[in-house]
Structures are given as C-alpha cells and as structure tokens.
Amino acid sequence: MMKKPVIKINDVLSDCEIEFGKQLVKHFEDATSGDLDIGLSCDWTIMNEKMIENWWSWNASEFYDLELSNGTILTEDEEVAQ
C-alpha cells in the first residue's frame, strides 16, 4: 500500500483564517480595526477544525491522511469524532 500525503490541519486552519480576514476587509472596506473577541476566535477555530475533519472524512480521506492539532494522524480507516 502506498503511503498517502499527510495534511496538517493547522496549515488549513491558518489559510482559512487568512481568507476569512480578506473577505471581511472586502465587504467592510471602510472599517479601521480588525479586532476580534478572543473567545469567539477560539470557538471559530475549534468549529472550523471540526468542519475540516468532517470534510476530509467525506471527501479527501481516500487520498490524504490528516494530522490534527494535537499531533494525532487520522487515516481513511479512522472515524472522525463528531
């Protein structure tokens, strides 16, 4: 069996956060601050990690393994906790 590439969820999360920020600036171009509530930001990151795990499970687990933020590597045969 050929080893699949491992995608780090933190890399995906970071890219998602950058793109989210770009969209905020695009739609609220006159805003002068970029501050977010730290608690909401943490909640957003946790929820996005769950969404990425779920998306990976349904769409990409056949082609990639997924490294979670705690270092655990999920493979196609492992069920993602919901």
Q: How far apart are CA 15 and CA 27, in angstroms?
A: 19
Q: How far apart are CA 23 and CA 31, in angstroms?
A: 12
**pTM for this prediction:** 0.83
Do residues 7 and 67 lie in contact, with contact meaning Cβ atoms separated by under 8 Å?
yes
61 inside domain: yes
* Angstrom distances, CA of residue 15 to CA of 8, 34, 55, 58, 64: 11, 17, 16, 20, 18
pLDDT in tens, the chain (82 residues): 678 999 999 999 999 989 988 899 899 999 877 787 888 888 999 999 999 999 999 999 999 999 999 999 999 876 555 4
Domain ranges, residue 41: 1-11+37-76
Domains in the chain, number = 1
